[in-house]
With several copies, the nearest count.
Chain A
Amino acid sequence: MNPRERIARRVARIFKDGDVVNLGIGLPTSVANYVPDEVHIVLHSENGFTRVGPAPEPGQEDPDIVDAGGMPVTILPGGCCFDSATSFAIIRGGHLAATVLGALEVDQEGNLANWMIPGKLVPGMGGAMDLVAGARKVIIAMEHVTKNGDPKIVEKCDLPLTGARKVNLIVTELGFMEVTPDGILLRELAPGVTVEEIQSKTGATLILPDQIGVMTA
C-alpha cells in the first residue's frame, strides 16, 4: 500500500456516524474513499454545499458543482447549498466534528503552518485558518517528512502559522499521534515501523505510552 493510501485509510476510521467533516484539498480529499460503510459522514465543502459525493461519470459533470479545489463532484441526496458566509458559519461555529488538512509543519504545541513559505510560495490561506479555528477536531494528514527527508513534525514551527495550538491528531504513513498538553503522544505505529525510526524522522520528542497500537490500514 502506498503511504498516502495508508494515511487516508487510518484517518477515515476516526469519524463517528453522523459527523460533519471538511476535507482539505489533496491527500485529505482522498480520505472520503475509505470511510467504513456503516459510518455515514456528511462532507462539507467550503465553497458552499454539504454531502459532497464522488466525481461524476465523464460527460456528466455539472459546471456549478465542484469541490473547493475546483474538481467536478456530485451532491448526494440530502445535500444542500449555501453562501460563503453560511459555509464559514458552519466552520467557525463549531458545527464541524472534524477537519482534515495537510501541513508544511506541525509542532508539539499543536501549532500548524500550511499556508505560506516566506519569499517563496504564498498561495494564501484560503479557508484553512477558519477550518483550524472552528472545527471541533483538527486532524493533520501528511507524509511524515518533506521530499528532502526533513521532519515536518517539529518542536516549534518556523513557518508562519495557520493556527495556534489547534491541532488534535496527526496521521502519517509511519504513525498515528495525538497532540496533548504535554507534547505529541505516539498512539499507533504502522506495521514494520519502529519507535526508533519514527523518532529519528520527527523533530520533537515523542511521548511513548505503555502500549503503542498498530496502525492498521
Chain B
Amino acid sequence: MNKVVTMAEALSRIKNGQSVMIGGFLTVGTPQGLVDAIVDSEIGELTLIVNDTAFADRGVGKLIACDKVKKVITSHIGTNKITGKKMHAGEIEVELVPQGSLAEKIRSEGAGLGGFLTPTGVGTAVEENKQVMEFDGKKYILERPMGADIALIKAHKADTSGNLVYRRAARNFNPLMAMAADLVIVEADEIVEAGELDPDEVMTPCVFVDLIVRKESPNESA
C-alpha cells in the first residue's frame, strides 16, 4: 500500500476548525512545507497542539501570525511575540501544559490509555480543576490523554508504506503525535521503497501513518 500523495491531496484532507498536532521543537523537526501550505490555504479556525509556538516568521508560529489559529495548546509561547500579543488581546486562546505532561498526554492517547498520574505540576496552577491522587505520601495529578483530528509529522526518511526515521533532535514530538491523530500526514526529506529501511532502524511503524508527502526542495517550490 503506497501512501505517498501530492501536497494538494494531503491539504485537501485538512478542514476548517479541526485540531491539528504539529511536530517540532522551535523550528527543528517541523514539517514546514505542510505548515506553509496551510498558511497559503483557506483553512482556518484551527486548534493547534504544539510543543511551542516557534517564531512569528518561522516554524508553526506562522500559522498564528496569519490568523489561522483560534486556540493553541502548548508548553511555551515565549519565542513568538505574536502569540502573547494575541492572547492578551483575547484573539487567541492559549492553554499551557508542562512539556513532559504534553508529550505524555499525546502518547497516552496513542497508546489507548485513559490517562496517567504525574508528579509534574503538583502544588502549582497546573493542578487546578484536576484530580490529585496520593500514594505512599507522594501526590500526583491525573492527566487525561490528548488526541487530534490531524497530525503533521516531519520525518527524515519514510518508506512508501509509512515507516519513518527521524534525525537527531528533529525527532522530539513527531513519533508521539504520529500515534495520536485520526489522520497522520508525514512530510519526508526522502522517500524510499518499502523494504529499504532496516526493521531495526524504523522509529515510527507504518501502522500509524496515513499519508506521505515529499519535502519540496527550494528548486521545486520556486
Q: Which of A's residues lie within 8 Å of B, judged by CB?
A: 17-18, 20, 40, 42, 44-50, 62-66, 68, 70, 75-95, 111, 122-130, 133-134, 160-165
Contact with A along B67-111 (1 / 0, CB 8 A): 000000011111100001001000000101011110110110111
- Taking a contact as CB atoms under 8 Å apart, the answer to whether A94 and B96 are in contact is no
Size of interface on B: residues with Cβ below 8 Å to A: 67
Question: Could you name 14 residue pairs across A and B whose Cβ atoms are closer than 8 Å?
Answer: A17-B1, A47-B26, A48-B171, A68-B25, A77-B194, A78-B161, A83-B175, A88-B104, A92-B112, A94-B112, A124-B96, A125-B96, A133-B119, A160-B124
Measured CA separation A84–B106 after assembly (Å)? 10
**Chain A hits for B199, CB < 8 A:** 49, 75, 79-81
Nearest neighbor of B156 in chain A, beta-carbon distance: A64
**Chain A hits for B167, CB < 8 A:** 64
- Taking a contact as CB atoms under 8 Å apart, the answer to whether B173 and A129 are in contact is no
Nearest neighbor of B105 in chain A, beta-carbon distance: A85
Q: A47-B25, A92-B100, A95-B207 are in contact. Are A125 and B123 (CB under 8 A)?
A: no
Known: A20-B207, A133-B122; 5 extra A-B contacts, CB below 8 A, are A66-B169, A78-B161, A85-B104, A126-B75, A129-B100
- Taking a contact as CB atoms under 8 Å apart, the answer to whether A133 and B206 are in contact is no
A189 smallest CB distance to B (angstroms): 31
Interface pairs A-B: 9 shortest CB-CB: A77-B195, A164-B123, A123-B78, A88-B100, A92-B112, A78-B194, A130-B100, A80-B202, A89-B111
**Chain A hits for B1, CB < 8 A:** 17-18, 40
- Taking a contact as CB atoms under 8 Å apart, the answer to whether B75 and A81 are in contact is no
> B18 near A: Cβ within 8 Å?
no
**Chain B hits for A40, CB < 8 A:** 1
Q: Which of B's residues lie within 8 Å of A, judged by CB?
A: 1, 25-29, 51-52, 74-79, 84, 87, 94, 96, 98-101, 103-104, 106-107, 109-113, 118-126, 159, 161, 163, 166-176, 179, 194-195, 197, 199-203, 205-208
A20 smallest CB distance to B (angstroms): 5
Specify which of B99, B113, B179 is in contact with A46 (CB 8 Å cutoff).
B99
B133 smallest CB distance to A (angstroms): 15
Specify which of B87, B161, B171 is in contact with A82 (CB 8 Å cutoff).
B171
**Chain A hits for B29, CB < 8 A:** 64
- Taking a contact as CB atoms under 8 Å apart, the answer to whether B28 and A63 are in contact is yes
B37 smallest CB distance to A (angstroms): 20
Measured CA separation A123–B112 after assembly (Å)? 26
B191 smallest CB distance to A (angstroms): 13
A177 smallest CB distance to B (angstroms): 21
Nearest neighbor of A127 in chain B, beta-carbon distance: B99
Measured CA separation A49–B29 after assembly (Å)? 14
Specify which of B112, B125, B170 is in contact with A89 (CB 8 Å cutoff).
B112
Measured CA separation A62–B200 after assembly (Å)? 14
A141 smallest CB distance to B (angstroms): 19
Measured CA separation A81–B29 after assembly (Å)? 13
Nearest neighbor of A165 in chain B, beta-carbon distance: B123
- Taking a contact as CB atoms under 8 Å apart, the answer to whether B207 and A44 are in contact is yes
- Taking a contact as CB atoms under 8 Å apart, the answer to whether A124 and B103 are in contact is no
**Chain B hits for A163, CB < 8 A:** 122-124
**Chain A hits for B179, CB < 8 A:** 89, 93, 95
